[in-house]
Structure formats: C-alpha cells, structure tokens
Amino acid sequence: MKKIKIIIWLVWFVLVVVWNYGYPEASPFLDVLIAVLLSLLNLILIKIIKRK
C-alpha cells in the first residue's frame, strides 16, 4: 500500500507541475484551486484502492 501512495503522490506532483508550466498566466488562486482539487482526487483514489 505504501508504494501505491508514493505513486499517487508522484502523479499528483507531476500534474501540479504540468499545470504550472502549461498555464503560467494562471492566477495564484487558480494554482491553489487546482492543487487542492488534485489533492482531493488523490484522496478519493486512495480510498477506492483501500477498499479492494
């Protein structure tokens, strides 16, 4: 399970970096909003994986 959490965290990190480089004109508010939404998605994925 620990490996899966690390992989999910890395995916989150890569998506945040892609967002920041892909949309450099985005406001700081949008940067934070996207990071929070991606974090919530990660939490949901971890809960789904734990059920199996």
Summarised one tens digit per residue, pLDDT across range 5-39 is 888 889 889 988 998 899 889 899 999 999 899 99
Domain with 42, as residue range(s), is 2-51
Task: Give the pLDDT confidence score for residue 29 in this predicted structure.
Answer: 95
Residue 47 has pLDDT above 80, yes or no: yes
pTM: 0.75
Report whether pLDDT(1) > 80: no
Domain count, the chain: 1
Q: Could you give the C-alpha distances from 42 to 24, 25, 28, in angstroms and in order?
A: 23, 25, 21
Using CA atoms, how far apart are residues 16 and 1, in angstroms rounded to an integer?
A: 23
Asked if pLDDT for residue 52 goes beyond 90, the answer is no
